[in-house]
Structure formats: structure tokens, C-alpha cells
Amino acid sequence: MTILSWDEFSGGKGNEVFRDKTAVTIGVFDGVHRGHQVLLQKVIASGYEPVVVTFKNHPRSVVAHRKAPRLLITVEERLAIFEKRGVSAAILIDFSQKFSILSGRVFLETVWKNASPAYMVIGSTFRCGYRGGFDAAEVARVNAEAGVRTEIVEPVREGDLPVSSSRIREALAAGDVALAERMLGRGGVTLC
């Protein structure tokens, strides 16, 4: 699997790596839980080169430092899961104050220019850009202008509630390892 930093990717190296159309999914992917796994399955099954754009650090570690969650798995574990599932490239964003002020449009234009996506799949709660200014519907609208088909995926549910990294952390804090494992779709969970 090819791994590029955002700086390498946005600096033009993406054009060297991605010769054909890609399928892109974007997110923190903390834990790579069952909801994330659906996004990965869709980009892998798309017939395009599957690419994940993710973060080295949690965005809240910069924009809301005191509210930054402990990560469920390390970046290295996340990348290993991506590779094992069949992702061909990962773009790692080192989320910073500078990155946090990037507009949603500029972010997407950078992805278009450097990854040539034909297809993008995101979760329905996805947000990007300065202060989360672009929600999933806005991403789909702007992508359509660029000819990028976008699929918005509703959350996977465990019981009556959506699977989420926050909910997994809550289950672990409450000692409900079995629930956390069900939401992750695998055993052996610990917080980093």
C-alpha cells in the first residue's frame, strides 16, 4: 500500500501515484469499526483504485484539545487494517491549525486534482472544511459539479443506536468489552 502525507499528496506526488481513476473515502477511521468497514468495502468493490484519506491525529486534538478523545487504535494499526482489506493508498493528514482553516471546497479540489476520483463514499455524518462547513450533502453537491459520483452511507447500527468510535469508547469505559467488540467487528480492543 502506498502511503503519502497530505503535503506530498497535495504537492503533486498524488499525480505520480494515481494514474487511473480512484474511489476515495475520507474520515478519521478511529478503530475502523463496522461502519468504517462498509465505506472501505464500497471503495474496494468499486472497480477503481481504492484510496483512503485519513488523519494522523484526531482533528479535535487541534480544534478542541481538551475534548480530544483517546484513539482506539494507532495510525500504524489503522494502516495495517486498510492494507489487509485491499486499500491501495492512504493519504495521511497531519491535522494542524493551518489545515483546520482550509475550506471544504479547497479540500475537495485538492483531492480531485491529485487523486482523480470517479467515486467518493462518505458517511452521512461526514463534515469537512473550516469549522465543518461542508456536510455530506454539500460534499455530494460540489462533487457532482466536478463529475465525481458520491455515495452517502447511513450509519451501521448496533441495537437501537449507530456504531461510532465515541460509542465504542463509552462501552469500553463501562466495561462492556463484548459490545465494543461487536461494534468493531473484531476482538481484542484497548484504548491507545
Tens-place pLDDT, residues 61-74: 556 667 777 889 99
Cα separations (Å) of 138 from 23, 105, 128? 18, 10, 10
- On the CB side of 20, CA atoms within 13 Å amount to 7
pLDDT at 191: 53
Whether 12 has a pLDDT exceeding 90, the answer reads no
Instruction: Locate 108 and state its grid cell.
Output: 475537495
pLDDT digits (tens, 9 = 90+) for 33-79: 999 999 999 999 999 999 999 998 866 655 666 777 788 999 999 99
> Using CA of residue 10, residue 12, residue 16, residue 18, what is the dihedral sign?
positive
Residue 120 gets which letter from DSSP? E
Whether 160 has a pLDDT exceeding 50, the answer reads yes
pLDDT at 181: 94
pLDDT at 58: 65
pTM of the model: 0.91
Instruction: Locate 98 and state its grid cell.
Output: 493551518
Whether 1 has a pLDDT exceeding 70, the answer reads yes
pLDDT at 95: 81
Separation of alpha carbons 171 and 164, rounded Å: 11
pLDDT digits (tens, 9 = 90+) for 162-190: 999 999 999 999 999 999 999 999 865 55
Mention every residue, 6+ apart, whose C-beta is less than 8 A from residue 57. 94, 95
- Position 17 confidence tier, pLDDT thresholds 50, 70, 90: confident
Grid cell 480544534 is found at 63
Separation of alpha carbons 73 and 95, rounded Å: 17
pLDDT digits (tens, 9 = 90+) for 88-125: 999 999 887 898 889 999 999 999 999 999 999 999 99
H or E element at residue 179: helix 177-184
pLDDT at 157: 97
| Cβ atoms of residues 10 and 98 within 8 Å | no
Separation of alpha carbons 62 and 163, rounded Å: 24
Instruction: Note the CATH architecture for domain 2-155.
Output: 3-Layer(aba) Sandwich (3.40)
pLDDT at 138: 97
Domains in the chain: boundaries: 2-155
Strand partners, 54: 92
